Structure 1
Amino acid sequence: MSSPVDRNSQEVDAAQALVKRGLRNYWYPVSPSWRVGNAPVGVTRLSEQIVLWRDQQGKVHALEDRCPHRGARLSLGWNLGTSVACWYHGVEVNGQGTVTNVPAVADCPLEGRKCVKSYPVEERAGAIFLWFGDEAHQDPAPLELPEELASEEYSSFLCVGNWKVNYQYVIDNVMDPMHGAYLHSVSHSMADGDKRAEMRVRKTERGLMFEKVGQRDVNFDWVELGETGNLWMRLAIPYAKKFGPGGSFGIVAMATPVDEDNSQCFFWRTRKVSGWERDAWRFLYRNRLEGLHWNVLEQDRSILEGLAPNAVDHEFLYQHDVGITRVRRLMKQRAQQQLEQLQAFQHKPEGIDTTSAQVASHV
């Protein structure tokens, strides 16, 4: 019989493993909208193989990328609109994961059976979001995006990168305003301001703010983590007038696990502009600024992909890293909550519904 210390250690290990694989019960962006057209598209997210396709009305569907007959990848097959057909033997599966036709066999017992996992889908701000709920949270929470992506007062461009690093390192990087004054010191937008600062964390209605004390709107001076059905980060960086109307430009960032060693990173560049100023901003971005922004992202990617193996096990964190430690603690808390809720669900008395929404706790 295991001791309380052993059980506690096992619970900590399980929570850490869950965070590393990817927290559940959140919406994650899994692809830019432009990537999914007429043909089925296969992706791997949170170590799950998924097929995406659009029906005749343009609505995106998402299924486990596995034919229930022999396990072939459905993403290699055909888009039939409301269903996909497996290339191997033509088995047809609809958007709910139900087999609708097995053309090679008359009266096949597979027909009419839900054999494949389906995912709730939302398409917002030029990206396709899927709900990755665990067994106890199959019904999705509302997906609320920050104002910069939800309001028509803002214009945005989406940059997507595939980085060979666990998604936690991407979150750490965005939650670290101080690196802008060093890693991006030759950037057109992050060359100014002090290279020494005191940092502080404060709560917001949606999560937490990590910011420099005594310096605002000079460089990358603050970042907010929000938890509104998904995990997102936002920040603002001032722009010189020569870079067009709209004042500071914003970044909304999300990191989606591909597997334990790879992530897909979504960075929306935003600006609050309307009318002719919106047109001017969008022209300037495409013709002058987009390449500069990709240079900054390449600096981040190079640093993160070049970190020492198991870097987190050998860190010496200091005051500038308090935002990172708070977010890591939050994610570990969420993992522990999810494991506890899942265990309670699996051991619930028959007929009692315990699938409540994810517990919200103070950051």
Structure 2
Amino acid sequence: MAGIYIHVPFCKTRCHYCDFFKSTKVQYRNQFLGQLLKELEERSDFFSKSEKVIHSVYFGGGTPSLLAVEQLEEVLNVIRKEYSLADDTEFTIEVNPDDLDAEYLSGLRSLGFNRISLGIQSFFDEDLKKMGRRHNSIQSRNVIEQTFAAGFENVGIDLIYGLPWSDQEKFLQNLIVMNQYPLKHLSAYHLTIEPNTQFGRDKKRKKLSEIEEEQSEQLFWMLHDEAEKLGFEHYEISNFCRDGLYSRHNTSYWTGKSYLGAGPGAHSFDGIRRFWNKSDLHQYLESGYQSGVSNEILTENDRFNECLMLGLRTRKGIDLEDLKANHFGLMSQFENNIQKWTERGLLQQECGRIFGTRKGWFLIDGIIEDLFEV
């Protein structure tokens, strides 16, 4: 289940909530492409023999749909040449509604992309404008229809909830609109106001504030209940799917599989070490990834904590036998620590797994932090 992640760091404009590494200097796309192809060639021996076969290739950003079809083809040609791909590899690309038309979507299809993630965020123009998005609600609806018309079946969208100026009923309308289409995946993220964003600056000036925790919890469970009524499985805190079509790429992260991240700011993991490319576009363009790549060897405590952090955010939770096999020396303390959470009805053990209850899942990040080995 190894995967490759391509970070395309360009955006035409900066959304007011986004804290991902990005640049609006789109004129450097060709130069970026040259360094990206070189990085993919030079790191072709990254994966061990046991995880040599790649099951997912994911283009994220930034805005991958700012690359032309011909540029994406160059990247995929190198990946297909240098890496061993499974016959059923999942090829995903994140796209912005205002970058797409029928010709571009047809081009993506011809390249072998079989999964599309549309950055819708909201079907309300007021929300989109306040978030600094470039598209409008009409474009959102049109591009969903065009994506299916181009022959894509595994189509998902992103939505953001917890907007300070909005309410529960308005977000429910987003789900009602979403249900008009045969979408297979939903990623729904609660707004977090990060310091180095426009929203962060607005918060500092007291022009904006996050909603109360009680309202957040109500929205979370409304989202959960309504999405499940529409046939979606809530399989991870922020992710829902129909017909068992999990994001294979993200699932590999959550289950500790190896992945290679290429591009400035991208992260990689080989099962023992974590690597990260420096979040510096100009350094990447001038000197390539090698001048900025760093790495660290994860201690047993680090690996144990990552297993908790990633596994308990999923609906299935953690297999206790697997945890014991990999971290036997830490299990006694862990079992003592989880007892208080099971007694409070926030964690549950069943069929050899530990997972959050309905009451506990919303609070899972705090529970995970308490369970960490330091």
TM-score (norm 1): 0.21
- Structure scoring higher RCO (CA < 8 A, sep ≥ 6) equals 1
TM-score (norm 2): 0.21
User: Which structure features the higher share of helix residues?
Assistant: 2
User: Which structure features the higher share of strand residues?
Assistant: 1
The structure with the largest alpha-carbon Rg is: 1
